[in-house]
Amino acid sequence: MSKALLYDATICIGCKQCEQGCAAENQLPYGDAIAAEEKQSAHKYTAILTRGDKFMRRLCMNCQQPACASVCPVGALEKTALGPVTYDAGKCMGCRYCMVACPFGVPKYEWNKLFPKVRKCTLCSHRVANGRQTACAEICPTGATKFGEREDLINEAQQRIRDNPGKYVNHIFGLSEVGGTSVLLLSGVPFEEFGYSTPDYALPMLTYRVLSKIPEFVPLWGVLLGGVWWITHRREEVAAVEGQRPAVEDHKERKQ
């Protein structure tokens, strides 16, 4: 059902056409200077990293259980059923919690604008929604970036690792990292060398298991506080009444 990208670093020739295609698709400036910036930014949603003759692509992983969408107080970031994690600038209030929370450091900010937006790859959600593939996959001359069904791509990646012993690190990055991602990576060198290291579990549970206790906690705490108030003040009422009683009885006795 859900779409994904498979990036195979061993096929990548570092031509950076994916960067160029991405910039064109998202109406971002592109030139030699920007091509030389080997990092994602508000004007560069994907970047090819070069280490000698090895390459690696960085882009939004479009996580299956995205931390960014889970922390966004207004739901500006959203995981769609098709795969992309989309961003609605109209909802965003600019708290930047998504940037803090993202385990890949993906969301970037337009720091120099007066009304800034969060910027990131959205897996070409506008194209994918119309049944097309992402701009980067379409433009890739070697097939290093391939678009397709996530399940199919996982099978294909496993096949490639099986068919080429020794060529790949025996791991599909994104299969289970942070609960799985919609961008899958294959590499001949360890992923950590390119800064890819994340926990193997989905992050949103870390906050939600605390948050989900609130509906039960509120009545409990309320009743407890009310109870303490009742006891501490009851004691006082009793003391007051007991202090008065002799006086009242005196009064009654006198009457009799």
| Interface residues toward another protein, by CB under 8 A | 41-42, 67, 70-76, 91-97, 99-101, 103, 105, 108-109, 111-117, 197-199, 203-204, 206-208, 210-211, 214, 217-218, 221-222, 225-226, 228-229, 232-233, 235-236
Q: Which one, 110 or 138, has the nearer CB to another protein? A: 110
Spatial contact of 106 and 239, defined as CB atoms under 8 Å apart: no
Q: Which contiguous run of DSSP H or E holds residue 106?
A: none
Q: Which contiguous run of DSSP H or E holds residue 245?
A: helix 214-255
What is the nearest approach in angstroms of another protein to the Cβ of residue 250?
28
Q: Which one, 67 or 154, has the nearer CB to another protein? A: 67
Q: Which one, 14 or 103, has the nearer CB to another protein? A: 103
Q: Which one, 84 or 204, has the nearer CB to another protein? A: 204
Closest CA to 185 of 81, 58, 35: 58
What's the N-to-C CA distance of the chain in angstroms?
92
Beta-carbon contacts of residue 133 (< 8 Å; ≥ 6 apart)? 124, 127, 147
Closest CA to 60 of 182, 144, 198: 182
Cα distance between residue 8 and residue 168, in whole Å: 9
What is the nearest approach in angstroms of another protein to the Cβ of residue 249?
28
Q: Which one, 64 or 145, has the nearer CB to another protein? A: 64
What is the nearest approach in angstroms of another protein to the Cβ of residue 199?
6
What is the nearest approach in angstroms of another protein to the Cβ of residue 18?
21
What is the nearest approach in angstroms of another protein to the Cβ of residue 155?
29
